[in-house]
Amino acid sequence: MATKKVLAVLVASLFAASQVYAQAPAPAAAGAGTATTAAAGGITAGMVAAAVAVVAVAAAASSGNAGAASALTPAAATSATAAAASTAATQAATAQTQTVAAIANVASAATTAGVAGDATVVAASTTANADATAAATANTAVTNAASDAGAAANVAIVGVVNQGRTICAAISSCTKAEVANLNYLAANASKAAAEAAIKATNSLQAYQSAVNAVVTALPASAARTTALATLTTSITQATAAIVAAIAAKAAAVTAISAYQAAVAALGTTPVTIPPVSGTTGTTGTI
């Protein structure tokens, strides 16, 4: 049985890796960028493997709670969906934290260089902040959905309410349709959170590029030097955000697969969830 669990985790991880790596961008062309290239180039197979490893660990932990049953039970399948959704939420939260920190540094660089009022900078700043806010909202949704699915996997203990939210109509149990819906909500919220995280990192990099273009065009000065140094710090933060967004995407792919398995175990009709979309920018550059 342990062998079957390990194989299941491996298959899920390889599937997630194939879905994420297929959309990873190619490294930046030689010579692209000037003072903006401060770290290593594009997203590599190693980065994707590291991101998917996070999902594999979560899947392994979840499989350890499945018991000795030879067939996947609705509770075990729902638990797997909840675990993957929880991982997506954690990684999306990391991406959010790094994105917000980077935005603050980019804004600081623009202010230091005296270019915060530039029209292109203002537009890029507005988009970056809006997308960061949307990502935060999506992350709250997936966190709640993961918690609800986890609660539904243990209906003998958890009844009508989970953290103030009504999740099942009965006092001490959930119907198959209710459990299937909670699985769907968790998987779909994982997809939304991952896509929002990716979009936010892309908007962040556009903001960085807008500020960098204006600052590098300025004459040499102490303010210009300080601004470029602050932008370099934001590059490191953007890279961390991108790697976390990739991990969130991998977890979302796993959550969708787990939802499909849960529906099969419940014997209910699945709702089609489109593949997780979005491609991150190149790490180490702006």
Residue ranges of the domains in the chain?
2-25+39-266
Cα angle value 55/57/62 (rounded, 5°): 95
Phi, psi of 161 (to 5 degrees): -120, 140
| Predicted TM-score (pTM) above 0.85 | no
Write the pLDDT tens digit of every residue in 200-257: 999 999 999 999 999 999 999 999 999 999 999 999 999 999 999 999 999 999 999 9
* pLDDT of 191 over the 90 cut: yes
Distance CA 176, CA 183 (A): 11
Q: What pLDDT is stored for residue 268 in this prediction?
A: 86
pLDDT of residue 155: 64
For the stretch 25-46, pLDDT in tens is: 444 433 334 434 443 334 444 5
pLDDT for 169? 74
145 pLDDT tier (thresholds 50, 70, 90): very high
